[in-house]
């Protein structure tokens, strides 16, 4: 009787250990109970909100728990997020950096802790820190936008350029792409080039200030759509919407509507949904064992104008 | 005696810790060292045009047009080159042709082999068609993507400043020419009408 009791107990115990062993084996290679962190430069801009939410959504579809961290365009805040997510044992980071140089140390810290980082939209200036970087081909987009800009202005006129964050490579890739075209037309004069930090309110303030000294501008080239909307608001306030063309970059909802309504001339469509999806799927592959990744994958962008707006949707497709 | 040893020790420690802490170098030398470690896109582009363009293997332009018009997607995937995730494929093509029209931004030529028409750009020389068509560079090798982008800027500058001016001074309608250049095809929105070849080599064969 007693022997039978012990035998049954041993069987139960063995079954329990077997169950635990099976569970732990299935967790080793799968995505169950794994967590992915989504660290976004700022959630104060709808484009980045879509980027973060799309990344989290795709990661959840792949079976991961996700948390979105907002760096508020602050590298110190971003560093705090990395410390916390490394300590919390996240399996991967889908990362939109605040600063191409300043964010490198955060990515390296994650790498040293064995946490792979997949950059989205913005790059970091290091080839061996991030596992892979999925970036918009901002330069080529602004080359195409520059050509459209030149033709719309008939190769002559005065314009203002509103730059994004000066520490972000996208700011300069866009500006240099644009100037690699426009600077070949000597009758197109840039009367002011100022940073508005990719921010709508700052863009409005900066353009209002610039128009005090240059009231006769013909166009404004903005490094993102938030600034394009800010610039447009400044033109509305000054009663100059009919005389000044506004060009943006992103393909955000409000600018796409403004293009449809003939308020803004053009933007460049870069799809946050597509970049987020690719990044989440790469992270999933990493967690499942893949190790050889292409260091940088640019995603093509397209110019959206009042003529071809019907071919596009805001924030683009996810493929 | 003790003071002597103390001062001697302080001098030695100060000397060791300050040794090479401050030194002077000529500004020219510092600039030269920095430029040696900085990628020089202009040199890169010059070397390509000087050493590689003549011998670069190109696709016959008539074959290219026939294949692209038959099935752009399949042909592009097998024979073109694209940057990252994109529908824009790039090719290097060549051919002998007769000049039919000289327009402000391009010339229209008729291919001698099968009389198909093609535009060769003479203005608005921008984009990545040469770099990508020639498969000259890999973005993953460049820490800062702007270095990679500058390759296209410099390649296009050579076309604009060195390839086109002597050609445009001499070319006339009905001239027979040889061309080699880069063509970009967007497989989603391709039409022959909007395709232009960015010339890398132009010769008048009269």
Model pLDDT, residue B136: 81
Helix (H, G, I), strand (E, B) or coil at A139: helix
> Cβ contacts of residue A224 below 8 Å, gap of 6+?
A45, A47, A164, A198, A248, A249, A250
Model pLDDT, residue B188: 87
pLDDT tens-digit readout, A79-100: 999 999 999 999 999 999 999 8
Ramachandran sector of residue A155 (left: φ over 0; alpha: ψ -120 to 50; beta: rest): left
Band (pLDDT 50/70/90 cuts) for residue A168 is: confident
Torsion A70-A74-A76-A78 (CA) sign: positive
Chain A, chain B: beta-carbon pairs less than 8 Å apart: 70
pLDDT tens-digit readout, A211-250: 999 999 999 999 999 999 999 999 999 999 999 999 999 9
Asked if pLDDT for residue B15 goes beyond 60, the answer is: yes
How does strand A132-136 pair with strand A157-163? unpaired
Judging contacts by C-beta atoms under 8 Å, the chain B residues touching residue A184 are 160
Q: For residue A246, which of A138, A136, A159, A143 has the smallest C-alpha distance?
A: A159
Q: For residue A250, which of A173, A160, A315 has the smallest C-alpha distance?
A: A315
pLDDT tens-digit readout, A268-306: 999 999 999 999 999 999 999 999 999 999 999 999 999
Model pLDDT, residue A205: 98
Q: How would you class B147 by CB atoms within 10 Å of its CB: exposed for 0-12, middle for 13-18, buried for 19 or more?
A: middle
Model pLDDT, residue B4: 83
- Residues linked to residue B199 through DSSP beta bridges, in sequence order: B181
Band (pLDDT 50/70/90 cuts) for residue B23 is: low
| Cα B61 from Cα B59, distance rounded (Å) | 6
Interface of A with B (CB under 8 A): 100, 123, 125-127, 135, 137, 139-140, 143-144, 146-147, 169, 172-173, 176-177, 180-181, 184, 274, 278, 294-300
Of all residues in chain B, the one with the smallest CA distance to A297 is B84
Of all residues in chain B, the one with the smallest CA distance to A185 is B124
Band (pLDDT 50/70/90 cuts) for residue A21 is: very low
Band (pLDDT 50/70/90 cuts) for residue A16 is: low
Instruction: Please give the average per-residue pLDDT across A11-30, as a whole number.
Output: 50
Residue A195 is encoded by which pair of tokens? 């940073």
Torsion A60-A64-A68-A73 (CA) sign: negative
Of all residues in chain A, the one with the smallest CA distance to B142 is A127
- Residues linked to residue B198 through DSSP beta bridges, in sequence order: B182
Give one DSSP letter per residue of B9-54, joined into a string: HHHHHHHHHHTTTS----HHHHHHHHHHHS--HHHHHHHHHHHTTT
Nearest neighbour of B140 by CB, restricted to A177, A294, A299: A294
Residues of chain B above pLDDT 90, percent: 72
What size, in residues, is chain B? 206
Position with higher pLDDT, B89 vs B26? B89
Backbone angles phi and psi of A256, in degrees to 5: -60, -40
Band (pLDDT 50/70/90 cuts) for residue B159 is: very high
Of all residues in chain B, the one with the smallest CA distance to A141 is B127
Asked if pLDDT for residue A33 goes beyond 90, the answer is: no
pLDDT tens-digit readout, B42-68: 999 999 999 999 999 999 999 999 999
> Cβ contacts of residue B102 below 8 Å, gap of 6+?
B171, B172, B173
Model pLDDT, residue A24: 44
Judging contacts by C-beta atoms under 8 Å, the chain A residues touching residue B84 are 137, 296-300
Band (pLDDT 50/70/90 cuts) for residue A2 is: very low
Nearest neighbour of B143 by CB, restricted to A125, A135, A176: A125
Asked if pLDDT for residue B186 goes beyond 60, the answer is: yes
Judging contacts by C-beta atoms under 8 Å, the chain B residues touching residue A177 are 149
In this prediction the pTM is 0.81
Model pLDDT, residue A25: 43
Domains of chain B, CATH where assigned = 2-204 (2.40.50.420)
Backbone angles phi and psi of A113, in degrees to 5: -85, 5
Q: For residue B82, which of B125, B154, B135, B153 has the smallest C-alpha distance?
A: B135
- What is the complex's ipTM, to 2 decimals? 0.79
| B98, B112 Cβ separation under 8 angstroms | yes
Residues of chain A above pLDDT 90, percent: 82
Mean pLDDT of chain A: 91
Residue B92 is encoded by which pair of tokens? 């290097």
Model pLDDT, residue A174: 95
Helix (H, G, I), strand (E, B) or coil at B94: strand
Asked if pLDDT for residue A171 goes beyond 60, the answer is: yes
Instruction: Give the other-Cβ count within 10 Å of B65's Cβ.
Output: 21
Judging contacts by C-beta atoms under 8 Å, the chain B residues touching residue A269 are none
- Are A300 and B145 an interchain contact pair (Cβ–Cβ within 8 Å)? no
Model pLDDT, residue B43: 95
Asked if pLDDT for residue B171 goes beyond 90, the answer is: yes
Model pLDDT, residue A169: 83
| Cα A54 from Cα A314, distance rounded (Å) | 14
| A189, A156 Cβ separation under 8 angstroms | no
When mean pLDDT is compared across A8-17, A64-73, A138-147, B121-130, the lowest value belongs to: A8-17
Judging contacts by C-beta atoms under 8 Å, the chain A residues touching residue B153 are 176, 180
Instruction: Give the other-Cβ count within 10 Å of A17's Cβ.
Output: 10
Of all residues in chain B, the one with the smallest CA distance to A181 is B126
The Cα of B150 is separated from the nearest Cα of chain A by a number of Å equal to 9
Instruction: Please give the average per-residue pLDDT across B189-196, as a whole number.
Output: 85
- Are B145 and A169 an interchain contact pair (Cβ–Cβ within 8 Å)? yes
| Cα A169 from Cα B33, distance rounded (Å) | 24
């Amino acid at each position: 009787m007693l022997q039978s009791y012990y035998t049954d107990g041993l069987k139960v115990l063995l079954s329990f250990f077997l169950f635990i062993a099976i569970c732990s084996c299935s967790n080793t290679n799968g995505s169950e109970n794994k967590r992915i962190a989504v660290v976004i430069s700022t959630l104060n801009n709808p484009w980045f909100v879509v980027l973060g939410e799309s990344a989290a959504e795709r990661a959840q579809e792949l079976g991961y728990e996700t948390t979105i961290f907002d760096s508020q365009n602050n590298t110190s805040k971003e560093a705090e997020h990395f410390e916390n997510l490394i300590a919390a044992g996240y399996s991967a980071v889908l990362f939109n950096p605040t600063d191409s140089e300043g964010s490198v140390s955060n990515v390296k810290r994650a790498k040293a802790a064995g946490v792979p980082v997949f950059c989205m939209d913005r790059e970091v200036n290091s080839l061996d820190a991030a596992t892979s970087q999925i970036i918009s081909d901002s330069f080529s987009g602004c080359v195409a936008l520059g050509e459209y800009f030149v033709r719309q202005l008939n190769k002559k006129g005065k314009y203002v350029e509103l730059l994004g964050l000066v520490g972000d490579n996208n700011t300069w890739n866009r500006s240099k792409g644009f100037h690699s075209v426009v600077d070949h037309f000597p009758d197109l004069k840039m009367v002011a080039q100022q940073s508005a930090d990719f921010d709508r309110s700052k863009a409005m303030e900066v353009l209002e200030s610039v128009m005090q000294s240059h009231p006769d501008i013909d166009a404004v080239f903005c490094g993102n759509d938030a600034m394009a909307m800010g610039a447009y608001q400044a033109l509305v306030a000054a009663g100059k919407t009919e005389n000044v063309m506004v060009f943006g970059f992103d393909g955000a909802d409000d600018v796409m509507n403004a293009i449809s309504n003939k308020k803004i001339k053009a933007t460049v469509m870069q799809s946050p949904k597509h970049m987020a999806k690719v990044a989440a799927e790469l992270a999933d592959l990493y967690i499942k064992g893949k190790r050889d990744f292409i260091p940088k994958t640019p995603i093509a962008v397209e110019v959206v104008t009042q003529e071809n707006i019907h071919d596009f949707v805001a924030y683009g497709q996810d493929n | 005696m003790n003071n002597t040893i103390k001062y001697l020790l302080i001098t030695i420690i100060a000397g060791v810790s300050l040794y090479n802490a401050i030194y002077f170098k000529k500004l020219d030398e510092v600039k030269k060292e920095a430029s040696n470690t900085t990628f020089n896109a202009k040199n890169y582009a010059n070397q390509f045009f000087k050493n590689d363009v003549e011998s670069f293997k190109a696709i016959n332009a008539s074959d290219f047009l026939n294949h692209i018009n038959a099935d752009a997607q399949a042909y592009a995937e097998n024979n073109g080159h694209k940057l990252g995730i994109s529908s824009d494929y790039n090719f290097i093509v060549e051919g002998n042709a007769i000049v039919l029209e000289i327009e402000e931004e391009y010339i229209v030529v008729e291919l001698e082999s099968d009389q198909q028409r093609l535009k060769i750009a003479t203005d608005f020389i921008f984009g990545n068609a040469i770099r990508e068509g020639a498969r000259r560079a890999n973005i993953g090798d460049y820490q800062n993507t702007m270095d990679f982008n500058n390759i296209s800027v410099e390649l296009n500058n050579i076309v604009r400043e060195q390839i086109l001016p002597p050609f445009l001074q001499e070319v006339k309608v009905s001239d027979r020419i040889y061309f080699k250049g880069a063509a970009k095809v967007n497989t989603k929105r391709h039409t022959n009408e909007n395709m232009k070849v960015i010339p890398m080599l132009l010769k008048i064969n009269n």
